[in-house]
Structure 1
Amino acid sequence: MKIQHRESERHVLTIVVDNEPGILAKITGLFTARGYNIDSLTVADISEDHHISRITVVTNGPPPVIDQIMAQLERLVPVHKVTDLTDEGPHVERELALIKVAGKGEDRVEALRLADVFRASVVDTTTSSFIFELTGTPEKIDSFVALMRELGLVEVGRTGIVGMMRGAEAA
């Protein structure tokens, strides 16, 4: 009898939690305990009284493992809601990046031209470098960074992915 292994799939999970010490460690511990990597992790306060936060986790795993992780997340006391945006349907994902590029002459001109094509904003400039701000899908940011490598990429800072379901309802 041949055992079939389901392929790993990318999943974007949102977790609404009480904003309390140690909750992030508990959540990341569930992934660590199963040997699954977190590709992206963002956390933000989402309530006026600062008591509720929203955590967005991007990970890869077979659907049964993701289902198990979600079930265990839902059992944690400070967790209010867990949503797998990937399984729920159409959603929007965005990431913010700051990209520092150093260069002179034609490389500098080309970096500015490409930034315009990608709708990146110049948020800092010196006579020898730029810092671009770019918002978009991870693939868009990856493409821009790859092009900047050829023109003098110095440093990249990325926020991680945030996601939200399309339509009027909250996820």
Structure 2
Amino acid sequence: MKRIVTATVNNHPGVLNRITGLFTRRDYNIESITVGVTDNPSISRMTFVVIVDDEAKAEQLTKQLNKQIDVIKVQDITDQPKIERELALIKVISNPQTRGELSGLINPFRATIVDVSRDSLVIQVTGDCAKIEALIELLRPYGIKEIARTGTTAFTRGLVKSQNSNN
């Protein structure tokens, strides 16, 4: 089953290597990793999409990550309300006759054309994995030359207090 795990870590050399080494030693399959500095330049945020066999292994993973030096906080946010996004750049075979058709095809996905050449277009799309997969499948008949994807980045949604709450 697919799990989304986030970790805030000290922004030091070698931290990513040590953490991915833990995944390797424990035989977890990492589907994607995104890493970036936070609003505090000394802290980075990592988002892992990991394939695990069962709930116990997912729990073991978060415990193991929490034990690592330089790890500040780990959360498995798979079952929580969350915002998740991925960026994809898709180079599609195109000619002047198909450009209008492709433009109309990508509009419902809020995708944009970011590069045009004589024989191809580069389309940029952001969204969850399912949205990106759906667009890729629609573009496939035109001929995909290349795809670059960032992997999922995510965090939990903010909590909304009810208006009837006295807190």
User: How high is the TM-score relative to the length of structure 1?
Assistant: 0.87
Task: Map Cα deviations across residues 4-43 of structure 1 (whole Å, 9 max, x no partner).
Answer: xxxxx21100000001111111111121112111001000
Residue 139 of structure 2: aligned partner: 148
Q: Gaps spanning 5+ residues in structure 2: where?
A: 161-167
1:137 to partner: Cα distance: 0.7
Residue 137 of structure 1: aligned partner: 128
Are 1:110 and 2:85 matched, yes or no? Answer: no
Which of 85, 98, 110 is 1:94 aligned to?
Answer: 85
Residue 153 of structure 2: aligned partner: 162
Does the CA-based 8 Å contact 1:37-1:59 persist in structure 2? Answer: yes
Task: Trace 1:57-96 onto structure 2 (pairs within 5 A).
Answer: 57-61=48-52, 62-87=54-79, 89-96=80-87
* 2: CA distance, partners of 1:76 / 1:119: 40
Does the CA-based 8 Å contact 1:41-1:57 persist in structure 2? Answer: yes
Please give the root-mean-square deviation of Cα atoms over the aligned residues, in Å: 1.5
1:123 to partner: Cα distance: 0.9
Q: Gaps spanning 5+ residues in structure 1: where?
A: 1-8
- Letter aligned with residue 57 of structure 2: V
Residue 3 of structure 1: aligned partner: none
1:107 to partner: Cα distance: 3.3
1:126 to partner: Cα distance: 2.0
User: How high is the TM-score relative to the length of structure 2?
Assistant: 0.89
* 2: CA distance, partners of 1:30 / 1:112: 44
* 1: CA distance, partners of 2:118 / 2:14: 45
Length, aligned pairs only: 159
1:127 to partner: Cα distance: 3.0
- Letter aligned with residue 76 of structure 2: D
- Letter aligned with residue 69 of structure 1: L
Are 1:31 and 2:31 matched, yes or no? Answer: no
* 1: CA distance, partners of 2:37 / 2:147: 25
Report the 3-state secondary structure (helix = DSSP H, G, I; strand = E; otherwise coil) of the residue aligned with 1:12.
strand
Does the CA-based 8 Å contact 1:91-1:166 persist in structure 2? Answer: yes
Does the CA-based 8 Å contact 1:30-1:69 persist in structure 2? Answer: no
